[in-house]
Amino acid sequence: MAKVKGLAAIARNFGATIIKNTNRSLLYYFPKTFDSTNKSAFRDVVGCGITMIAASDIINEKLRRRITSSSLQN
């Protein structure tokens, strides 16, 4: 769930509209891409993807720490 929330925040920062968040997956689109001549909108799509890939390791590490901490408390 935390990973999806993090990815949703990244998507919104790049102008995406979140359609559905199931806590396991995320469905979103970029409304500005309706204009196929809007190069900036498509740069945002690519930038979003690159940022999500870069953030994935950081998000995964935070989740690992949370899981480890939580299992140590039990």
The residue ranking higher by pLDDT, 41 or 65, is: 41
Q: Which amino acid is present at 1?
A: M
Residue whose entry in the numeric block shows the structure tokens 């935070």: 62
User: pLDDT by residue (tens digit) across 33-45?
Assistant: 999 999 999 999 9
∠ CA 27-2-45, nearest 5°, is 40
User: pLDDT by residue (tens digit) across 10-30?
Assistant: 999 999 999 998 878 899 999
For the chain, the domain total comes to 1
- 72 pLDDT band (50/70/90 cuts)? low
Residue 38 zone, left/alpha/beta (φ > 0; ψ -120 to 50; rest): beta
Residue range of the domain that includes 36: 2-73
The structure's pTM equals 0.78
| Predicted local confidence at residue 19, as pLDDT | 96
**18 CB contacts (<8 Å, ≥6 apart)?**
8, 11, 12, 26, 27, 28
What residues does 26 pair with on adjacent strands? 21
